[in-house]
Amino acid sequence: MNMQQREEKQLETTIQAILNRVNDLKTAIQALINKLETEYETINWPTFLDNYAILSGHLTGLSKILQVELAASLKSRIVLPLQLSCERDEALARLTEGRVPACTHDLVPDLLRTKPEPQAEQRLQQFNHKASTLSYDTAQKQVAQFTKVVSHVWEIISKGREDWDGDSMRSAGMQPTHSISDTHALVTAVGTGKGLRPGIPSIVPQGVAQEWDHREAQPLNLVRLLHLYQRHLLLSKPTSKPPTKFIHINVNV
């Protein structure tokens, strides 16, 4: 396979991928239009945004296909109409699903246009010229003013949202189910033992009780207590299976 055949094969593959993506995009657009026409009374914003996200995904995929190196050969291809006629072209109508029945002199400039319309191009040049003549200080002032306006709008929206959430909770009769102070106290007690008063164990071996007396002023540590109890059992070296013992600890919070 020579170089020309390889390029033609790549071009065919790229065009087929573009057509598949365009067909998926067309199907998604048709589904969205159908929902708007038939379910306009029941459709909600989440459903509409989900369908719109599908359109955005197809457009992103199409852009990625056009940006890869395999699609670079499309930039050097020129599409020219072989024949202009006002008569209906059945093949063209079937290919475009009836949207373009004929290749006329009026449609070709719009369908095969690679540059903006003259009016739009003129306005774009005016905007570019105005942007190029704008000084740095003026641009910074405009950006700062725009940022200030956006921040003010954001504060208004945030305050409105907080008020709306509060009104919704009050209208529903919902009471707060948590307390920040109690949460902080619980975390402090678990982490440092603050507020916990260790009780006297009812059934504790002598060695464990002695060490417990020395650590009476320290925070309660159940892991340390169990470790001391296990060490006491190992040091006793029983000749038979030791009876099952339980440790009962009173913790008063």
Other Cβ atoms within 10 Å of 228 Cβ, number: 19
224: nearest Cα among 187, 249, 244: 249
Count of CA atoms in the C-beta half-sphere (13 A) of 34: 7
Percent with pLDDT over 90 in the chain: 11
Residue 217 pLDDT > 50, yes or no?
Answer: no
CATH 1.10.10.10, applies to 1-77: no
Domain ranges of the chain: 1-77, 81-115, 186-238
Tell me which residue has tokens 């998926």: 24
**Taking each helix axis from N to C terminus, what angle separates 222-236 and 206-214, rounded to the nearest 10 degrees?**
150
Q: What is the DSSP string of 21-79?
A: HHHHHHHHHHHHHHHHHHSTTT--HHHHHHHHHHHHHHHHHHHHHHHSGGGGGGGG---
Rounded CA gap, 236 and 213, in Å?
21
- Mean pLDDT, residues 20-44 taken together: 89
Rounded CA gap, 11 and 63, in Å?
16
Q: How many residues does the chain have?
A: 253
- Mean pLDDT, residues 117-132 taken together: 88
Rounded CA gap, 232 and 240, in Å?
16
> 23 or 1, which is more confident?
23
Beta-strand ranges (E) seen in the chain are: 197-198, 251-252
Whether the CB-CB separation of 50 and 68 falls below 8 Å is answered with no
Rounded CA gap, 12 and 6, in Å?
10
- pLDDT at site 164: 80
Tell me which residue has tokens 């009050």: 170
* Band of pLDDT at residue 152, cut at 50, 70 and 90: very high
